[in-house]
């Protein structure tokens, strides 16, 4: 098989990498309004792996599947400017409040409809950091999954060879299609948007965006060219079991949130002398841990 | 994510200049291709939106890929392996990234797979790439050669070579030889027509060729047997894939080390004639040079910007005597002057680019249909301005790339002299800018006629007609005083020259005259910006007018005190004795 149908799972996330002082609400939840919405970084690594397959096997299509509010169409558009063929935005109030179980259920329903040969996703999103969605989609589809992928090395006779980056080294595995691959942040960075694709695809939109400004040039262009139409699917379009969707389908209940500041990364031994204690205090003051 | 477009509001300001409307309409032929190509803009706003987006991508590639590679490329440099160039690892990555971003063939027509963007955006891209790595800009910027082929080549040649630019093909401008540098009329590399093979064949040696092993080369060669001057030279295009050339060596340069400067040997190398025979130097190289001079202006400005930002950062971080060194007048004056020069230089560079663009587009249109008398007059008007401004911007920006880099290294103190900081690379890279594509001295030669024939003066008068807010009336008065001094200098120099019926006095003072015109013009271009956006440009204007006044006063004093005998005084060095 030399012509693949690839679905890339992508999420629009608040940029938690450059967090200002208003990043959290007083209630301890993420203040999404204060953080710019970005393409989840590891999903970009996943997209790059998909685009490399497309480069290698002409005729391959890359479709970006995302679930989120209307504005999440932005990540699909961005992916198209980088090389994806098109996308589907799953958007419906019925999906709202989903935990990873309900999210992966909805995504797997959409994936069934798209019927790809391979689904490639980022390892995890920087807002939830669960790394569960890609794996759960594989489980729900009953497909094999390869996690922590760093590079898709080859494709031969319906089997994909994949390099995995693990804590203790590198592992090369082979897996049959159809398959779910989740990609590590150590994989190749995604290519930039392409000037020619910008000219061609910059007006790509979902129907809701078109309806918001029907007189715009963008609306006119979208009506004229099918390739500018990003699909927008509500819950009904993927024919799910409604009890497994959204808040109802989410067994996760948040009881309490602790603000954990530090992760233990390296340890330091100090002897109990005045000098060493002083130097520790100075260091902690300098890094604003104290004071 | 770092981005050299979004972090630089001065570049963004240039993209929004009022003349852009005219430029876009000309470049797009009033949007004639909007239904022919799905990549063509529908209207002015649509086009501008695309330019902004593509410039943002360029800024991202420059900041995220090219800049981080600059140090390694500088250290590793290119090599010659089996008679051909192998780029440094980072150079290859840069080329791949910039090609993946679709930034090849920015200005070329759509039918040759170009973006059909205005020259302004290409110059901007060069500025940003040069800020990241001037050595890489040196070889990437050579795609402006494609524009010369687009202007003068046959439809067949264009169809063969131009689309390759979009795919990432690199170019070379293969002109100079061991005995033909500034004096290109002395070029000896021979091209002869081989009847049996039905092609021109190149034989000979070229030296100091930037990216000499590039995919496509425009070669200046002697097609007319027995001739010895410019009239025997033609331009030919050579395809690297013929592999009838060898790279004898790569020069070991002071700077722009990532860019391979080659010595080439051509042996029966097939090449195709561009345009007409014998017009190689007289017409095509001149066009090539003018485009390249704009490119060097952009490269120099990118270097200035990079140097300034390094100097500023160091001055803010480095503490001595209990405070950051930026607090000392000796340091903040250097920074402030650099900032003002960059603003003025940028205003001049993009003003020149707009003039070049309007004239070039009218010229292209004139090949498609007959121009009206009014259109023809406009083309001539902008052609003259382009000719006058091109050497001016190259002269100032390349000299400032050097002096600003020098000052910013000075701010670093001893650390700046070490290879630990980027500023030393910027100093080394800048040093070539006022030498190649015509030395500063040759830019003065190209510009001096516009002093004496009044091109600069008439443009200064056009600027004077501009409305300025009341807050800038002081600047207007100071500009008027500088103009008076300029007129006095010109009158005196021309008077003495005429009186002695000899040549040499004007040449002797040429640089002073050209620089005086330049300072006045730049003050005006910056004043025009301050009039539109006083909050961003008034401070730079106030600094620059002081710099301009001091420079004009110095030049004025020198010229007004100068007598014919000065020539003899300065010629005593011709005796050739060291002591």
d(CA B284, CA B275): 8
Give the C-alpha separation, B165 to B98, whole Å.
Answer: 12
Within-domain flag for A285: no
Nearest to B102 among A195, A202, A221 (CB): A195
The verdict on residue A269 lying in a domain is no
First to last CA, chain A: 62
Residue B369 is encoded by which pair of tokens? Answer: 């249909």
When CB atoms are compared, the residue of A191, A198, A225 closest to B53 is A198
CATH class of B457-572: mainly alpha
Q: Please tell me which residue of chain A has the smallest CA distance to B93.
A: A191
Q: List A169's β-bridge partners, or say none.
A: A166
CATH number of the domain to which A200 belongs: 3.40.50.620
3-class secondary structure, A32? helix
In a domain, A286, yes or no: no
Q: What pLDDT score does A262 carry?
A: 64
Given a cut of 60, is residue B412 above it in pLDDT? Answer: yes
Domain ranges of chain B: 9-168+282-430, 171-278, 457-572
Give chain A positions within 8 Å (CB) of B41.
199
**Cβ–Cβ contacts within 10 Å for residue B546, how many?**
14
Per DSSP, the three-state class of A92 is: coil
Q: How far is B29 from chain A (nearest CA, A)?
A: 18
The H or E element that residue A13 is part of is strand A12-14
- Asked whether the beta carbons of B528 and B466 are under 8 A apart, the reply is yes
Beta-bridged to residue A160, according to DSSP, are A155, A175
Q: Does residue A284 lie in a domain region?
A: no
Q: How do strand A169-176 and strand A179-183 relate by DSSP bridges?
A: unpaired
How distant is the Cα of A195 from the closest Cα of chain B, in angstroms? 5
CB B281 within 8 A of CB B233: yes
Q: Does A168 reside within a domain?
A: yes
- What does CATH list as the number for B171-278? 2.40.110.10
CB pair distance less than 8 Å for A195 and B46 = no
- Is B132 within 8 Å of B86 (Cβ atoms)? no
Report the residue of chain B nearest A201, measured CA to CA: B39
Here the ipTM equals: 0.90
Round to whole Å and give the CA distance between A9 and B576: 76
- Residues B50, A192: C-beta atoms closer than 8 Å: no
Task: Give dist(CA B263, CA B425) in Å, integer.
Answer: 24
pTM given for the model: 0.92
Substitution target from B37, B101, B105, B114 for chain A, most A beta carbons within 10 A? B101
By percentage, how much of chain B surpasses pLDDT 70? 100
Helix pair angle (A73-82, A41-56), 10° resolution = 40
B186 vs B502, residue with greater confidence: B186
Do the domain assignments include residue A250?
A: no
Distance from CA of A245 to the nearest CA of B (A): 36
| Chain B residues in contact with chain A using a Cβ-Cβ cutoff of 8 Å | 38-43, 45-46, 49-50, 53-54, 57, 60-61, 97, 100-103, 106, 115, 166
Residue A202 and residue B54: Cβ atoms within 8 Å? no
Check: CB of residue B522 under 8 Å from CB of residue B548. Answer: yes
Domain count, chain A: 1
Give B1's strand partners. none
Bridge partner list, B356? none
- pLDDT number for residue B172: 97
Has residue A255 been placed in a domain?
A: no
How far off is chain B from A230, nearest CA to CA, in Å?
A: 17
Query: From the list B45, B49, B54, which residue is nearest A195 (CB)?
Result: B54
The answer to whether B50 contacts A199, with C-beta atoms less than 8 Å apart, is: yes
Q: Tens of pLDDT along B517-530? A: 999 999 999 999 99
Q: Which residues pair with B203 in a beta bridge?
A: B190
Cβ distance A191 to B100 less than 8 Å, yes or no, reads yes
Helix axes B329-368, B119-132, angle to 10 degrees: 150
Using CA atoms, how far residue B203 sits from B176, B192, B224, B269, in Å, is: 14, 8, 14, 7
Fold of B9-168+282-430: Butyryl-CoA Dehydrogenase, subunit A; domain 3 (1.20.140)
> Which DSSP state fits A30?
B
Least CB–CB distance from B57: residue in A192, A217, A225:
A192
The minimal CB distance from A196 to the residues B61, B97, B102 is found for B102
- Residues B22, B28: Cα–Cα separation, whole Å: 10
Q: Which of A47, A54, A192 to mutate to test the interface with B (most CBs of B within 10 A)?
A: A192
The average confidence (pLDDT) of chain B is 96
Beta strands A179-183 and B84-86 are: unpaired
In Å, what is the CA distance from B431 to each residue of A77, B134, B406, B574? Answer: 44, 11, 10, 27
Token match 């593509």: residue? B54
Give per-residue pLDDT as tens, B398-407.
999 999 999 9
Chain A nearest C-alpha distance from B101 (Å): 4
Q: Where are the beta strands (DSSP E) in B189-335?
A: 190-194, 199-210, 216-222, 233-239, 245-250, 261-274, 319-320, 323-324
Position A20 scores a pLDDT of 72
Cβ-nearest to B57 among A193, A200, A217: A193
Identify whether A80 is part of a domain. yes
CB-CB contact of A205 with A67 (8 Å): no
Per-residue tens of pLDDT for chain A, all 291 residues: 579 999 999 999 988 777 777 777 766 666 777 788 999 999 999 999 999 999 999 999 999 999 999 999 999 999 999 999 999 999 999 888 888 888 999 999 999 999 999 999 999 998 888 888 889 999 999 999 999 999 999 999 889 999 999 988 999 999 999 999 999 999 999 999 999 999 999 999 999 999 999 999 999 999 999 999 999 999 999 888 888 888 888 888 878 777 666 666 667 778 888 888 888 888 888 887 776
Which structural domain, as residue segments, surrounds residue A162?
Answer: 5-244
Could you tell me which chain B residue has the CA closest to the CA of A15?
A: B1
SS3 B264: strand
All residues of chain B having their beta carbon less than 8 Å from the beta carbon of residue A199 are: 39-41, 50, 115
């Amino acid at each position: 098989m030399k012509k693949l149908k690839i679905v890339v799972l992508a999420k629009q996330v608040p940029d938690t990498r450059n967090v200002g002082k208003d990043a959290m609400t007083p209630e301890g939840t993420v203040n999404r309004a204060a953080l710019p919405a970005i393409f989840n970084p590891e999903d970009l690594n996943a997209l790059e792996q998909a685009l490399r397959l497309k480069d290698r096997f002409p005729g391959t299509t890359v479709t970006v599947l995302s679930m989120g509010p209307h504005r999440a169409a932005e990540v699909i558009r961005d992916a198209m400017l980088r090389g994806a063929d098109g996308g589907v935005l799953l958007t419906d109030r019925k999906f709202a409040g989903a935990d990873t179980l309900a999210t992966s259920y909805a995504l797997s329903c959409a994936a069934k409809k798209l019927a790809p040969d391979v689904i490639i996703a980022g390892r995890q999103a920087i807002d939830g950091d669960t790394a569960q969605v890609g794996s759960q989609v594989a489980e729900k589809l009953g497909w094999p999954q390869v996690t922590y992928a760093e590079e898709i090395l080859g494709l031969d006779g319906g089997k994909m060879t994949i390099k995995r980056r693990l804590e203790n080294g590198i592992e090369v595995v082979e897996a049959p299609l159809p398959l779910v691959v989740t990609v590590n942040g150590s994989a190749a960075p995604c290519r930039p948007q392409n000037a020619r694709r910008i000219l061609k695809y910059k007006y790509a939109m979902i129907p809701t965006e078109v309806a918001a400004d029907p007189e715009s040039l963008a609306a006119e262009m979208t009506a004229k060219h099918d390739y500018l139409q990003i699909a927008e699917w509500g819950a009904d379009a993927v024919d799910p079991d409604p009890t497994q969707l959204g808040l109802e389908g989410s067994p996760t209940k948040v009881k309490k949130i602790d603000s954990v500041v530090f992760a233990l990364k390296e340890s330091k031994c100090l002897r109990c002398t005045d000098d060493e204690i002083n130097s520790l205090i100075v260091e902690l003051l300098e890094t604003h841990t104290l004071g | 994510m770092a981005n050299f477009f979004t972090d630089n509001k001065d570049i963004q300001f240039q993209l929004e200049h009022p003349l852009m409307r005219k430029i876009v309409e000309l470049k797009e032929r009033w949007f004639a291709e909007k239904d022919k190509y799905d990549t063509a803009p529908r209207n002015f706003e649509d086009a501008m939106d695309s330019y902004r987006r593509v410039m943002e991508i360029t800024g991202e590639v420059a900041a995220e890929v090219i800049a981080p590679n600059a140090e390694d490329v500088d250290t590793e440099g290119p090599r010659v392996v089996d008679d051909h160039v192998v780029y440094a690892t980072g150079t290859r990555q840069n080329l791949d990234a910039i090609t993946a971003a679709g930034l090849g063939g920015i200005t070329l027509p759509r039918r040759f797979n170009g973006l059909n963007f205005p020259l302004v955006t290409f110059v901007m891209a060069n500025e940003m790439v040069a800020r990241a790595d001037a050595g890489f800009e040196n070889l990437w910027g050579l795609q402006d050669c494609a524009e010369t082929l687009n202007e003068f080549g046959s439809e067949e040649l264009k169809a063969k070579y131009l689309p390759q630019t979009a795919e990432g093909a690199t170019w070379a401008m293969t002109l100079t030889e061991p005995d033909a540098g500034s004096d290109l009329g002395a070029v000896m590399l021979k091209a002869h027509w081989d009847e049996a093979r039905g092609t021109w064949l190149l034989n000979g040696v070229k030296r100091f060729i930037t990216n000499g092993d590039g995919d496509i080369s425009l070669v200046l060669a002697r097609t007319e047997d027995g001739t010895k001057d410019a009239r025997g030279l033609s331009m030919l295009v050579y395809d690297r894939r013929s592999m009838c050339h060898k790279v004898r060596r790569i020069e070991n340069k002071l700077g722009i080390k990532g860019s391979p400067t080659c010595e080439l040997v051509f042996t029966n190398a097939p090449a195709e004639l561009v345009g007409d025979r014998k017009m190689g130097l007289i017409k095509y190289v001149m066009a090539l040079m003018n485009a390249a001079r704009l490119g060097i202006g952009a490269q120099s400005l990118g270097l200035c910007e990079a140097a300034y930002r390094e100097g500023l950062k160091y001055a803010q971080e480095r503490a001595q005597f209990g405070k950051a060194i930026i607090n000392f007048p000796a340091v903040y004056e250097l920074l402030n002057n650099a900032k003002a020069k960059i603003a003025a230089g940028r205003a001049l560079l993009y003003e020149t680019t707009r003039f070049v663009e309007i004239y070039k587009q009218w010229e292209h249109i004139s090949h498609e249909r007959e121009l009206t008398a009014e259109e023809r007059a406009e083309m001539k008007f902008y052609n003259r301005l382009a000719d006058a401004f091109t050497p001016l911007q190259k002269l100032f920006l390349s000299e400032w790339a050097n002096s600003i880099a020098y000052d910013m290294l000075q701010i670093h103190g001893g650390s700046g002299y070490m290879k630990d900081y980027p500023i030393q690379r910027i100093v080394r890279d800048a040093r070539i800018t006022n030498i190649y594509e015509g030395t500063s001295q040759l830019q003065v030669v190209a510009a001096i006629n516009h002093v004496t024939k009044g091109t600069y003066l008439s443009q200064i008068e056009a600027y004077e007609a501009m409305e300025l807010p009341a807050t800038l009336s002081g600047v207007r008065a100071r500009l008027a005083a500088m103009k008076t001094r300029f007129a006095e200098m010109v009158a005196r120099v021309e008077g003495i020259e005429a009186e002695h019926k000899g040549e040499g006095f004007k040449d002797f003072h040429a640089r002073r005259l050209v620089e005086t015109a330049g300072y006045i013009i730049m003050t005006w271009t910056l004043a025009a910006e301050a009039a539109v956006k006083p909050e961003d440009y008034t401070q730079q204007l106030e600094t620059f007018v002081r710099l301009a006044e001091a420079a004009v006063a110095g030049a004025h004093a020198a010229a007004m005190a100068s007598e014919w005998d000065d020539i003899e005084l300065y010629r005593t060095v011709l005796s050739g004795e060291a002591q």
